[in-house]
Every structure is written in C-alpha cells, then in structure tokens.
Amino acid sequence: MKELLRTKGFKSTPQRELIFDCFFSLGKHVSVDELYQKVRELDPSVGHSTVWRNLKLICQLGLAEEVNIGDGITRYDRTTPKPHGHFFCRNCKKLLEFDVGSVMGALVEAAHEFEFEPDGYKIEVQGYCSDCRQDDRTNDVATRSANDERKA
C-alpha cells in the first residue's frame, strides 16, 4: 500500500495506512462514520476529517467508489473486477450484491445509441429482502392514515 501511495505521489502516514487497512478489512458498503468508528477503535486520535479525506483518496485511486442509495448516506464500495448491482432492502437497509453481467450489454448498447461514453454504472434495485417480505406492508401508501403510522 505504501508503494502504491508513493508511486502515485502521495505520502504514507500512520493514519493513512490505518485508514486504508480498516477500509479493506471492513466489508463492503462502508459509510464514513462506520469507517471512522473502526479506525477509532485502533487509534482514537485520528480525526473525522482525516478519515473522510482518505476515503476520498481511496476513491481517487480507483480502489473504491461511492454508492448512493438515496438515504442520505454515502457508502463506499470497493471496486471489483466485475461490475455489480445492489438490492437495497427498504426495511432492514441491507445491501445485497448481484451480478449485472447480463444487463451490461444492453446498457452499453443503449449508451452507444445516445453517443454517450459511459464510465460508471449504478444499478440499484429497491424493495424487500427475503427476511423482510410481507404481504400487508403499509409503508408505501399514499393515504392520510398511513402518514401517521409512518411518523411513529
């Protein structure tokens, strides 16, 4: 890692190494705060902004990319050799990955038609995972009474 940083012109610092290590030791889809907590376990002196900046750096280095599922929290996903999509459970907030190889062809083709030069794909499918499926869901209704439930 130290090597990669040097060759790219960045300095290696203890904080940076720690943050990088923590990021890669954690699972995927890490938020800044999740990473921050992890880092603090090992070195409570590391600052919030340092974690944030290094997470950005990890993205700049092409080692991860942002994932935005629309809940206001940016997560960071290690880049993988093959692109993948996400199933996002509206209930338990779980994020599952699935292979999108079968849809890439169609996407690339569509892009070609638009003379669009793609360099990133975000395929997010929202719904309910196997644990949270139910038939009498009440949280996507447009009626007044459902509003009140929601607030609770």
Q: Using CB under 7 A as the criterion, which residues of the chain lie in contact with DNA when the complex forms?
A: 2, 5-6, 10-16, 31-33, 45-50, 52-54, 56, 72-74, 144
Residue 79, binding choice from DNA, a copy of itself, none, Cβ under 5 to 8 Å by partner class: none
Beta bridge partners of 67: 75
Phi-psi map region of 72: left, alpha, beta (phi>0 left; psi -120 to 50 alpha)? left
Whole-number minimum distance, CB 55 to a copy of itself, in Å? 14
Whole-number minimum distance, CB 51 to a copy of itself, in Å? 18
Residue 114 makes contact with a copy of itself by CB under 8 A: yes
How many CB atoms neighbour CB 58 within 10 A?
21
- Residue 40, amino acid: R
Residue 87 makes contact with a copy of itself by CB under 8 A: yes
Residue 12, binding choice from DNA, a copy of itself, none, Cβ under 5 to 8 Å by partner class: DNA
Cα 91 to Cα 52: distance, rounded to the nearest angstrom: 27
Whole-number minimum distance, CB 61 to a copy of itself, in Å? 5
Interface region with a copy of itself, contact rule CB under 8 A, candidates 18-26, 28-36, 42-50, 56-64: 56-64
- Residue 102, amino acid: S
Residue 103 makes contact with a copy of itself by CB under 8 A: yes
Q: How far lies 106's CA from each of 91, 102, 109, 112, in Å?
A: 30, 8, 5, 10
How many CB atoms neighbour CB 24 within 10 A?
13
Cα 148 to Cα 152: distance, rounded to the nearest angstrom: 7
Q: Which residues bind a copy of itself (CB under 8 A)?
A: 8-10, 60-62, 66, 68-70, 74, 85, 87, 89-90, 96, 98-100, 102-103, 106-107, 109-111, 113-130, 133, 140-147
